[in-house]
Amino acid sequence: MATKPPEPFLTRTWDYITETQLWRSIFRHGMPSTNRNRVLVVMTNVFLHLHPVKIRKSGIRLKFTWCMGGLTFFLFLVETFTGGQIAARLVPHLAAEKIVRRAVASRDLAEVYAGVGLEGAPPAGELTRETAEAVAVAARRSTGATHALAVLIDLDDGPDRIDFGGTICLAIATVEGAESRRSRILGGREWVRLGACEMGLDCLRRHLQGLPVYERIDFEKT
């Protein structure tokens, strides 16, 4: 009596894998040999259902797509790297005390005045660029630093909300003089705080590069 020869090991392994519940839960149909089966394979697959079942031949040409998927992926990598670089420059560094002479932070403008050595009370009324310039000039003079950055925030009254905003007056003082700008940011207390920090650092960077400090940022109200 003739016996059937045993199947190869790889064939038996493949049959075992394709018969498991896990495999059938992901690949629920066979080879897409017909249009109907092709639609079933795509629509019932956990990965393939993200893509259309059919697409025009012209829709995959390079002149039509410009490889947007790949460009988006590499843009994600670039922004992830540069975002890490930006975050790294904000963390404390060794010997940072030799670079940054003094930092004053307060909710009360009068305390800021006293911290930088300005005499008298700050002017009443709305925040102005001249007030920020006076703080920056006094801070540079009292510390002997080459540059001084002042970022003053005048928040709106009332509870935190999506249209809650604040007026930001910032100034950069050097030996030659002071440059300042005034801006308005909306979006809540945290958004105003982040926007003021971003604006101050960006203006300082632009000033060090010899560029004007009036460039609008994404945080600002348009």
Residues 159-182 pLDDT 10s: 888 888 889 999 999 999 899 999
Percent of the chain's residues with pLDDT above 90 = 12
Mean pLDDT along residues 84-96: 59
Domain ranges of the chain: 11-53, 58-84, 104-208
CATH fourth-level superfamily of 104-208: CinA-like (3.90.950.20)
Mean pLDDT along residues 151-164: 88
Nearest Cα to 140, choosing from 106, 197, 178, 181? 178
The per-residue b/e assignment along 116-136, b for 16 or more CB within 10 angstroms, e otherwise, is bebeeebeeeebbbebbbbbb
Structure token pair of residue 116:
């930088």
Q: What pLDDT score does 81 carry?
A: 66
Alpha-carbon distance of 148 to 204, in angstroms, equals: 9
Mean pLDDT along residues 124-134: 90
DSSP classification of residue 98: G
What tens digit of pLDDT does each residue of 41-64 get?
888 777 777 777 778 877 778 777
Nearest Cα to 131, choosing from 147, 104, 109, 157? 109
First to last CA, the chain: 89
pLDDT at residue 119 is higher than 60: yes
Alpha-carbon distance of 123 to 113, in angstroms, equals: 11
CB of 132 closer than 8 Å to CB of 169: yes
